[in-house]
Amino acid sequence: MQIISSKDNEFIKHLKKLKDKKYRDENNEYIIEGIKLISEAIKENVRIKAIVICDECSKNEVIPKNLMYEIAKYNCVYVTEKIFNSITQVMSPQGIFAVIEKENNSKINYSDDIIVVLDGIQDPGNFGTILRTIDSIGIKQIIVSKETVDAYNPKVVRSTMGAIFRINVIETDNLLHSIDEMKKNGYELVVTSLQTNKNIYNIDYNKKIIVIGNEANGVSKEIQKNADFKVKIPMLGKTESLNASVAAGIVLYEYVRQKIQK
């Protein structure tokens, strides 16, 4: 078994470049790291191009034996601990990560009750948490503006806890145009706004586009102008706004409540 020990190895250089969004897009690949994410990737039959293992970690049995049996079916590359530490992007690495091929479809599925849209979300943790929430309610797609943080940013991927494998992330260069197309397919546009008396419990979540806006500026004015419904989350305290992922969760679970009632 060959163990890579040189930082000048071409494969190691390739792995390091995958930290950059442009390079990820060019190669249609991204990295996942850790035991849970790799177990989820195997379970979901994701296209795993290579699994990179820290040789010292494998000897110390940090990685469970049952997972070691599973990953043996894939293209496994062993590296020294020094090389692994030069590539890892987590504080306490578990000694294993994988290169994954993107499998997204750019076509919007118009059979869903709701379509979730992200308008310029910047925080990777927020994006990842929103993807987990969408996964939890059974929605399989999300539309994101080009200004939104990359779905395959390592921090986003980690915070999804595997939801990234089950959701089709569709990035659009022109969000207004994409929303117009959704409306032509029978959907109505819902945005959150403080300038309204209508709250999230006053509308029926059937054939709705739900837009989650930028953390600092909210939903862009151009999109707000096209809204069929402006709604707010009723609050009894003095706080006027919520974290984007928290707000998304509250709105989406009103959809769940209505669906259960029906």
Q: What pLDDT sits at residue 238? A: 85
Q: What pLDDT sits at residue 196? A: 85
Q: What pLDDT sits at residue 58? A: 66
Write the CATH number of the domain with boundaries 114-261.
Answer: 3.40.1280.10
In angstroms, what CA-CA distances link 222 with 74, 123, 174, 238?
47, 22, 12, 28
Write the CATH number of the domain with boundaries 3-101.
Answer: 3.30.1330.30
In the predicted model, what is the mean pLDDT of residues 150-175? 95
- Checking if the pLDDT of 77 tops 90, the result is yes
- Checking if the pLDDT of 123 tops 80, the result is yes
Domain boundaries, the chain: 3-101, 114-261
Q: What is the mean pLDDT of the chain?
A: 93
Q: What pLDDT sits at residue 36? A: 94
* Intrachain domains 3-101 and 114-261 with the same fold: no
- Checking if the pLDDT of 225 tops 90, the result is yes
In the predicted model, what is the mean pLDDT of residues 223-231? 94
Q: Which residues pair with 72 in a beta bridge?
A: none
Q: What pLDDT sits at residue 23? A: 97
Q: What is the pLDDT of residues 11-63, one digit of tens each?
A: 999 999 999 999 999 999 999 999 999 999 999 999 999 999 998 876 667 78
In the predicted model, what is the mean pLDDT of residues 58-81? 86
